[in-house]
Amino acid sequence: MLSTAVDRYWEQFQPSRGLAGARAWARSDADQLNLNGMWRFRYSASDQDRTEFATPHYDDSSWAHLPVPSLWQLHGFGRPIYTNVRYPFPIDPPRVPQENPTGDYRTSFEIPASWDTDPVVLRFDGVDSCARVWLNGHEVGVTSGSRLAAEFDVSAVVHRSEPNLLAVRVHQWSSGSYLEDQDMWWLSGIFRDVTVLRRPKGGIDDFFVHAAYDSQSGRGELRVEADGAVSVRVEELGVDGPAGQTVQLDRVEPWSAEVPRLYTAVLSTPTETVTTRIGFRTVEISDGVLTVNGRRVLFRGVNRHEFDPDAGRTVSAETMLADVLLMKRHNINAVRTSHYPPHPSFLELCDEYGLYVIDECDLETHGFFADEPAPPTADGSPIIADNPAEDPRWRDELLLRMQRTVERDKNHPSVIMWSLGNESGAGQNLGVMADWSRTRDPSRPLHYERDWTCRYVDVYSRMYASHAEVDEIGRGVEEALSDPVLDARRRAMPFILCEYSHAMGNGPGGLSEYQALFEKYPRCQGGFIWEWIDHGLRTHDEHGEFYGYGGDFGEELHDGNFVADGLLFPDRTPSPGLLELKQVFAPVRIASSDAGLVIENHYEVRDLSHLRLEWSHSVEGDVVESGTLAVPAVEPGDSATLPLPDLSPVSGESWLTIAAVLAEDTAWAPDGHEVAFGQVAIHVPATTEWVPTLRAVSGDTEVRLGAGIFDASTGALLKIGDIDVGSPRLDVWRAPIDNERAFARDPIEVTWRELGLDRMRHRVERVELVGGLVIRARVAPAATRLGFDVVYRWTAHGDVLRLVVELNPDGVWPCPLPRVGLRMHAAAELSNVEWYGLGPGESYADSRRAARVGRFAVSIDELLTPYVFPQENGNRAGVRWMQVTDPQGAGLRIEGEPTVDMAVRRWSSEALDRARHPNELARDDRVWINLDKAQHGLGSASCGPGVLPQYRLLAEPTSFSLRLRAV
């Protein structure tokens, strides 16, 4: 048998070779060359073993050009693949398929003569997933660990007086792919910066800043470990001395996410100067509570993948800053870097603007647990022998990944915890990683969610625990571990939800109830929403532009739109979920009591002196007076009561709105930026009694009742004044949201469709003229005895029609209903909507903290929320009245008794249900209007818990009423 030996480095348990030692990322005055730009590129559909392309004189003139950094699938080479848990290749570690897309790269550079004979280092900040590197035809090494920095000492092979040829071969699949199953697009290439570094002799190769703060005395302690004879100068603190010594400082200002105080430190030798920012802070666990500088931390956090809809994981400096500013402006104080270390510039921004960071190792092996049971047992994730967390053959690679994470990011004050990785089960190799981390950096606690016994970690972390379970943990009555020692250890730990409230599609609901638990129980210290942004890739088809998700690129295995589960749409537009989160996370709470306004300070270290309180008094949505209230001296954790401002007497419904806004410009938002708001009802007028004044008049084919014209045989409303309408009739269906679909924890859509709620039939049983018009109907789906007996009662007063709907479910309904309300339609010429009620954004039963009572006016198109996967959207709750009009102002006015939920669309719920992308939604020949008594809640069951009991819409007898007239 013919056998050819091939160096299949990409199929080794530890493929990296030739790497220089991991060290801190730093800003140095030593010379460097940025190699970002257009490189020559050759794509192959399978792995390669011929390496002649790495020689300097190889002719690459026929090759394509590809920008570095970038991901080649987004430039027409191969295709993106999205899977959540499943590996898109056979599980046969460390082997990968021979059909292994491979990219060959070439570029050239020259180094300045001034570099002389100093050592030269080649640095890659991120390459997915495995790369072999040559310089001038000489192999310098192999790197794996896609989101980890790799440095190679190329001093022996670099040309000092002529061009250098750099060649890189990148494989999409490698043994490292088994460690990077991180619920994101599988994309390949050199996706972060490439740099050539001059390393001056006698320079600063590495350093470690230790800056502690004593919250009792206000003292600081500074020690900088560094290689070689390095001096440390912090001019603002009067520090100037050698590295290695411990400096006691009588008074420093501490760093926190709320007040991110940084000091500039200059580290120098005769040949190199490094500038770094120091934040004094101490992270401790005391009496089962995680503290920073002696204060309990409540994580108002998000999980952040690096993502751009055009560039994938290649994220620009501008995009990173946009993320941080959006987080700060929406009251987010913490980030978990799911599930790998981010670009180092992002951590600099977290230092500067103030965000707590859980920095996660580049590790996830979820595909080994594709069939794991849920929910977990108290004793933890099952051990699988060949899972890398347990298999000793992977030990060195997992340890190396942790070392590379810690060493690169160890000097960032924003990093307050290390995470061993994500969803990699349990196993002995995690203990090795934990032991090394504690030895190297005892100042930061360790996190890892799948260590449910908390054998290796310092905080008890879970994903998607229900509200009820969080309450049990807060009270200390959760299910016990079988090992009493481990059980006692775990019960003494802080508890966080490293993922909760899955923000997929319309939702999440139930945020307020989680936050109440975090504020009630000291041990429950908040958590991190999954996740920050929808990973939709900008795509086009015959219908126009849309954001593609799994399956849109011809993948044979994919997980659909599960990749679109963020608080931002792919273009970074905030979703309604993010707006809701901002108000739930608000560090200022404004409410009312019999004594006046209650202002609560939920900051951890700040008083309220940086804010001002602006108030406005509105009647039926129109502001009649406004002013500013003095900000009380409220310390963190305290509250104050203020008298209401002197308000003018009014006759209509009126509300006092109080906004806590920034009193001056900050680094992250301008003067006047709203941090939080509250509303107080001032005057609620008595409801007017309805007195019918007109009787129904029957003709041969029509019934006239006031301004309404009805069909005589069916009772259907045909016209109000001169406005043609499609008669309101019972509607119980909505286009299912992601939290209800088949993949969800509570896949209620399946039950709804089995019952036929998406195909209800309407039968008029009797039309009666009894003063007004009464229609008795049966509404039911095929193939079941279940249904609804409905009575529609129409009366009139002048040109106003009143409709009372009485609903009685027939049979035992096994599930909640999507909605209970009416649906009608009107002419397509109607284009504008004005309403008085909750707004301006959408609101639902369990997601309405961000909505305020007011008067709003938008176009019909602006009412809609463009979720990546079309679904129920655009509902406005608590509507007192609404008008849908054409450009001339003619149309319909609808009033609730006292309120309705409303949605107005240019397509039906059925069309919304059929669409798979928003660009498939074509305008109908009519406008559809939903007027609801109630809707089922949202929950977050696409991955988290379902709808809380108080927000479930049960099938039970009910009635509701509204009024209609033409305008």
Q: In 3D, which of 594, 609, 600 has the Cα closest to residue 658?
A: 600
Catalytic pick from 11, 499, 600, 895?
A: 499
Q: How far apart are CA 954 and CA 817, in angstroms?
A: 6
Burial class (CB in 10 A: 0-12, 13-18, 19+), 881: buried
275, β-bridge pairs: 27, 266
Q: How far apart are CA 175 and CA 191, in angstroms?
A: 19
Q: In 3D, which of 508, 485, 486, 505 has the Cα closest to residue 497?
A: 508
Left, alpha or beta for 436 (phi > 0: left; psi -120 to 50: alpha)? Answer: alpha
Q: How far apart are CA 967 and CA 965, in angstroms?
A: 7
Whether residue 499 lies in the annotated active site: yes
Q: Which amino acid is at 591?
A: A
Contacts with 103 (C-beta within 8 Å, 6 or more apart), sequence order: 41, 42, 43, 44, 66, 72, 77, 169, 170, 188, 189
Three-state secondary structure call for residue 344:
helix
DSSP-derived secondary structure for 573-628: PBPHHHHHHHHHH-SEEEEEETTEEEEEE--SS--STTEEEEEEEEETTEEEEEEE
Give how far Cα 46 sits from Cα of 2, 3, 39, 756, 859, Å. Answer: 21, 19, 21, 48, 52
Alpha carbon dihedral 594, 596, 597, 598, in 10-degree steps, equals -50
CA 758 to chain centre: 30
Three-state secondary structure call for residue 254:
coil
Q: How far apart are CA 24 and CA 1, in angstroms?
A: 50
Element (H, E) at 649: none
Catalytic pick from 11, 423, 531, 872?
A: 423
Q: How far apart are CA 67 and CA 69, in angstroms?
A: 6
Q: In 3D, which of 860, 863, 800 has the Cα closest to residue 830?
A: 860
Element (H, E) at 752: helix 748-755
In terms of DSSP bridges, do strands 495-500 and 524-529 run parallel, antiparallel, or are they unpaired?
parallel
Give how far Cα 599 sits from Cα of 87, 586, 635, 642, 644, Å. Answer: 51, 12, 11, 8, 12
Structure tokens that stand for 154 in this block: 């190329």
861 φ, ψ (degrees, to nearest 5) = -60, -35
Structural contact between residues 426 and 383, judged by C-beta atoms closer than 8 angstroms:
yes
Q: How far apart are CA 501 and CA 526, in angstroms?
A: 12
Q: How far apart are CA 252 and CA 279, in angstroms?
A: 10
Contacts with 343 (C-beta within 8 Å, 6 or more apart), sequence order: 125, 126, 192, 306, 315, 320
Structure tokens that stand for 213 in this block: 């703060």
Start-to-end CA span in the chain (Å): 89
**Active-site positions?**
423, 499
